[in-house]
Chains A and B, each alone.
Chain A
């Protein structure tokens, strides 16, 4: 029921028919390697010339083991040595470990998502934190970086910021990388991106072929101009990245995107069951968009229950997980935001 209600509230979407994009040409002009931007002095000069402010946001939930290192590295390289970033903050979903304490100890601002815009309520999910960051942080550009990167380096931020600073037409920069999975001992050289390859890429190939040019559509690192962030809605869960790509593409086309190769990213491995939940969340964000854009016809009521199996003592058990991929409206629809950032209704 919730999805039907949500769909009813959305303004009728128009599918923008765009001329075919030369993906090969786009890859040439809008795909970068972080090493192209290693001259941080030049980036700082460009930022100052454009009078831009930049915020770095790390959404967190129980990340005390990795958050301190990330903040120390970003503070040193992007604030102390080179003034590329104006604020570094975590937006926390209510960690039960010492995430906030550690983040503050290493010099970041730490905010509880539930304390931001309390009149809008509090939902749990990464997308919620990203959405509330738009209100809480002051930058003209926000770069989002996940908290679980083991091989953290300043490139994870400046590699994404640089295309925005150097190409005015670019509005949204995604990361891509090698994704070795940390396993019990050592590193497996290939793998990762399984949900991308078996779900998102096939969906994009069917419905949004231009978006297949985005090499890792689900990467958790991206830098975005505020004008874009404030005008798009945010699924609060796993669907947020997929929804962003579709919505930004609909409004501004592929030319608004760029992507940067950040080399290797060492992160935690996820179980197949966890990936199943991720895929379910992505579909919940994707299908309403496909429907409102007229890409698929009338569909039955979607279930909110993901059913998976496990075997215990040779007995098959069904595990039911309830997912409601709720969606936050664009920030421009929030009065407090319009007031804080002086936007007209």
Chain B
């Protein structure tokens, strides 16, 4: 397709209409993929289903790589460059959970539908949309459902592909189910941490007033929370999960805290890590409990400059589609690409919520904004393919 940037922007409403006409195909892909459980390290079923859908819509080389990622290629007419579209396949679900999606008139509800079944369904639908639009790109599109990305996975699927595929990637697009309009061009540095407090084997269980591991953990949390964090460079600590004890009447022998430190500065991350380590050692020394502090994943901050043509053109696409770009650094996915100096963005495909009326793992995504989300995806692929995102 020979196009200038203006013609791409003008074509977006037509692309959106075509995407809307594919509603049932996109939603059927969402059901097919999203209803296969894919807990961390057990993603094979969902990968198989994805590859089946990739194969049915005419993608080539549908296969799994050594890491377990599901991969397929839409060959370009020239094939001199590769654009990587990817999304995480793994979820934080219990291994035995059977995800089931519920359709309402305007939205779909189900576990992990926004993170990230919607993105996987969009990838499986994209080749059909391009075919209907009679769009043939010069570059190859590599679509990938990446495994072991979340939590302890620490982006293993993406890193495995980038390190071992032998396919040089010119541009990367990380797809997220929500939120439509997000434009993550950089990522914060990040430490994924765990603290485990255990009672010693010689703990005096019968002593009246024995407090167990919870009180010590509480002490640690309070002191971490008092660590002064600067606004610039922006730095935060997110306490994500805490676990401990077996019932209300038994003294807890062990508690575990999972949390994340985020910062725009690598130096600050190191400083905060050192302060947390000092706190844990101090609590251990004063209370007699065993405290283990583990940083199981580190990601360096970085990314594109906001003035990079990739970011600018994406903002133009959003504007043409009536969206206000939400520019903010992300905490996920871009790190591995940035390390390889691959210009990359994170895009959202629809709007969604985690509401109080839904179970904790369930999310609701809106149907109608999906067509705008797919149009932006086609738009950015055309823009990359036309060379409009290259630095002069």
Q: Give chain B residues whose Cβ lies under 8 Å from the Cβ of A186.
A: 96, 98
How many chain A residues sit at the interface, stated as a range, is: 20 to 34
Beta-carbon contact of B23 and A72 below 8 Å: yes
Q: Does B35 contact A (CB under 8 A)?
A: yes
Contact partner, B105, options A77, A98, A107, A266, Cβ 8 Å: A98
Beta-carbon contact of B102 and A72 below 8 Å: no
Beta-carbon contact of B31 and A69 below 8 Å: yes
Q: Which of B28, B102, B105 has the most CB of A within 10 A?
A: B28
Q: Give chain B residues whose Cβ lies under 8 Å from the Cβ of A71.
A: 24
Report which B residues bind A (CB closer than 8 A): 22-25, 27-29, 31-32, 35, 56, 96, 98, 100-106
Contact partner, B103, options A76, A102, A107, Cβ 8 Å: A102
Q: How distant is A100 from chain B, measured CB to nearest CB, in Å?
A: 11
Closest 10 CB pairs of A and B: A68-B103, A76-B28, A75-B24, A76-B24, A72-B27, A69-B103, A76-B25, A73-B28, A72-B24, A105-B105
Write the A232-252 contact mask toward B (1 if CB under 8 angstroms, else 0): 000000000000000000000
Contact partner, A69, options B22, B101, B105, B106, Cβ 8 Å: B101
Q: Does A106 contact B (CB under 8 A)?
A: yes
Q: Does A151 contact B (CB under 8 A)?
A: yes
Q: How distant is B51 from chain A, measured CB to nearest CB, in Å?
A: 15
Q: Give chain A residues whose Cβ lies under 8 Å from the Cβ of B28.
A: 72-73, 75-77
Contacting B at CB under 8 A, from A80-112, are 80-81, 98, 101-102, 105-107
Q: Does A123 contact B (CB under 8 A)?
A: no
Q: How distant is B136 from chain A, measured CB to nearest CB, in Å?
A: 21
Contact partner, A107, options B23, B31, B101, Cβ 8 Å: B23
Give complex CA distance A73, B32 in Å.
Answer: 9
Given contacts A69-B102, A72-B103, A76-B24, 7 further A-B contacts (CB under 8 A): A69-B27, A73-B24, A73-B28, A76-B28, A80-B22, A107-B24, A150-B100
Contacting B at CB under 8 A, from A58-82, are 64-69, 71-73, 75-77, 79-81
Give complex CA distance A39, B98 in Å.
Answer: 27
Beta-carbon contact of B104 and A187 below 8 Å: no
Beta-carbon contact of A68 and B104 below 8 Å: yes
Contact partner, B56, options A75, A81, A102, A107, Cβ 8 Å: A81
Q: Give chain B residues whose Cβ lies under 8 Å from the Cβ of A105.
A: 105-106
Contacting B at CB under 8 A, from A19-42, are none
Q: Give chain B residues whose Cβ lies under 8 Å from the Cβ of A254.
A: none
Instruction: Please name the residue on chain B nearest to A79 by beta carbon.
Output: B24
